[in-house]
């Protein structure tokens, strides 16, 4: 599946009122997201198939993150290291 930066049109879970997000609606109703075209969708029933809810559920181990995305914990470690280096270089260029 190719993920894009476009936010797809969402089908709501029940009635969404007062600008309530779908993430909040899924979490409150404890219903898994079935909209697998969403850029936030992951195959994780524990996290209601949503990366936003997964992040909100607290810290995860490298192994847990790897299991969600179908890669090894070592690959997650490499990605984390790369991201931290990029953030450090951005911070030093701002200062």
User: Cβ neighbours of residue 68 under 8 Å, at least 6 residues apart?
Assistant: 42, 43, 44, 47, 54, 60
Range ranked top by mean pLDDT from 22-31, 66-75, 84-93: 66-75
pLDDT in tens, 11-36: 544 444 455 567 777 777 777 777 77
Q: What is the pLDDT of residue 57?
A: 80
pTM for the structure as a whole: 0.58
CB 4 within 8 A of CB 39: yes
- Can you give the residue ranges of every domain in the chain? 22-94
pLDDT in tens, 35-69: 777 777 777 777 877 777 787 788 889 998 898 88
What span, in angstroms and rounded, lies between the C-alpha atoms of 51 and 42? 6
């Amino acid at each position: 599946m190719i993920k894009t930066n476009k936010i797809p049109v969402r089908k709501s879970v029940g009635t969404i009122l007062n600008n309530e997000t779908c993430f909040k609606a899924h979490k409150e109703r404890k219903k898994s997201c079935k909209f697998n075209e969403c850029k936030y969708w992951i195959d994780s029933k524990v996290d209601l198939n949503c990366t936003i809810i997964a992040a909100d559920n607290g810290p995860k181990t490298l192994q847990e993150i790897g299991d969600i995305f179908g890669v090894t914990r070592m690959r997650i470690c490499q990605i984390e290291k790369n991201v931290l280096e990029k953030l450090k270089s951005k911070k030093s260029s701002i200062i």
